[in-house]
């Protein structure tokens, strides 16, 4: 079967996008340039750091472009000069204007980490866990001017397990995104025209960007909702809660039966199995925590430093 090479411009920034860049290279397309966000301050020293996609592109010898936006005509002209057949966009961090979407001959594809139209927007992975969804996936979408509104070209699905975290689901969807993109590229280069499937008008949900303020656990909420928050916010921004007067980062927890009438926030039990905190409905058992300035530790190790909790709950 004849294969038509494609000139591809890849646009992405975080770790999530790197497997998709690798999928482009493995598919045999010519990645003529990589676009990524400008270097940002990072770490304790706040030194400028390259994005994971930039590092991968430089290692592969691919030209890197880092415009602040595409508002300037010069930036759009520079993109057009690469003469791309296709632009692949994966967690790039910029909304592309119509004038950019029309530059590539085949338009722009986006790899989005949800089953559209559910969870359009910035944080679909964490919002799916927070909502208690039992399934997620990745859509390869033909981009249009609206935010994640374009028709779907290829889809991959995966169940959300009861112990999935934001990190574990992120990694699985990143790999699935690379698979979906590879399929789309393979079929296109083989001469097939991918049939777009319009998104349903019902079931639209917007996945707002995560905010550290959301990480605070409110024990007047049901334990199951707080368990989902702990899982969704691992590894960032990490849930936080007050335990007997001390603010802790909560890395792992699960909902368990509580004590009827207990005041939310009360320590109900504290032993090697965990620390049970009363909630509006049930209790939240903390199994991995982190003290200020410390490292992640198991509940048993934490209780060694606070033996009064075991005595108070006995």
For 181-213, the pLDDT digits (tens) are 999 999 999 999 999 999 999 999 999 999 999
Q: Is the dihedral of CA 235, 236, 237, 239 positive or negative?
A: negative
Domain count across the chain = 2
What are the residues facing 197 on neighbouring strands?
152
Which CATH number characterizes residue 197's domain? 3.40.50.170
Residues 127 and 236 in one domain: no
If asked whether residues 188 and 60 sit together in one domain, one would say yes
Establish whether the linkage from the previous residue to 49 is cis, with ω within 30° of 0: no
Residues 188 and 238 in one domain: no
| Selection from 39, 68, 65 nearest residue 51 by Cα | 39
Q: Please, what is the average pLDDT of the chain?
A: 95
Given 190, 207, 224, the domain boundary residue is 207
Decide if pLDDT at 3 tops 80: no
233 lies in a domain? yes
Sign (positive or negative) of CA dihedral 209, 215, 218, 223: positive
pTM equals 0.95
- Contact 111/138 with Cβ under 8 angstroms? yes
Task: Examine the domain organization and report whether 91 and 190 are in the same domain.
Answer: yes
Tell whether 115 is in a known binding site: yes
Please check if 117 is assigned to a binding site.
Answer: yes
Examine residue 303 and state whether it is found in any structural domain, yes or no. Answer: yes
Is 116 annotated among the ligand-binding residues? yes
The span from the CA of 137 to the CA of 156, in Å, is 5
Per-residue pLDDT tens over the stretch 111-162: 999 999 999 999 999 999 999 999 999 999 999 999 999 999 999 999 999 9
State the CB neighbour count (10 A cutoff) for residue 16.
21
Contact 141, 224 (CB under 8 A): no
Residue range of the domain that includes 41: 7-207
Residue 219 and residue 160 share a domain: no
Whole-number CA gyration radius for the chain: 23
pLDDT exceeds cutoff 90 at 168 = yes
Q: Could you give the CA distance from residue 189 to residue 196 in angstroms, rounded to a whole number?
A: 17
């Amino acid at each position: 079967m004849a294969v038509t090479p494609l000139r591809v411009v890849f646009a992405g920034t975080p770790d999530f996008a790197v497997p998709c860049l690798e999928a482009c290279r493995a598919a045999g397309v010519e990645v003529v340039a990589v676009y990524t966000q400008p270097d940002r301050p990072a770490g304790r020293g706040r030194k400028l750091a390259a994005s994971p996609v930039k590092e991968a592109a430089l290692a592969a010898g691919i030209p890197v472009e880092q415009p602040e936006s595409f508002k300037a005509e010069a930036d759009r002209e520079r993109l057009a000069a690469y003469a791309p057949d296709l632009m692949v966009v994966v967690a790039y961090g910029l909304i592309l204007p119509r004038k950019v979407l029309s530059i590539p001959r085949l338009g722009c594809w986006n790899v989005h980490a949800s089953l559209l139209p559910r969870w359009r927007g910035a944080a679909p992975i964490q919002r799916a866990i927070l909502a208690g969804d039992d399934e997620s996936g990745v859509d390869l979408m033909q981009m249009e001017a609206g935010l994640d509104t374009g028709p779907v070209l290829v889809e991959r699905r995966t169940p959300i397990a009861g112990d999935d975290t934001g990190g574990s689901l992120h990694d699985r969807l990143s790999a699935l995104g690379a698979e979906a993109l590879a399929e789309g590229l393979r079929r296109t280069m083989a001469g097939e025209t991918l049939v777009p499937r319009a998104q349903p008008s019902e079931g639209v949900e917007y996945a707002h960007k995560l905010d550290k303020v959301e990480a605070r656990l409110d024990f007047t909420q049901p334990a199951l909702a707080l368990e989902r928050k702990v899982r969704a916010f691992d590894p960032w921004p990490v849930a936080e809660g007050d335990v007997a007067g001390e603010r802790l980062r909560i890395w792992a927890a699960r909902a368990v039966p509580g004590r009827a009438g207990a005041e939310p926030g009360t320590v109900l039990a504290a032993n090697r199995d965990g620390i049970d905190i009363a909630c509006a409905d049930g209790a939240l058992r903390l199994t991995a925590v982190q003290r200020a300035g410390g490292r992640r530790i198991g509940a048993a190790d934490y209780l060694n430093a606070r033996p009064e909790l075991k005595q108070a709950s006995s």
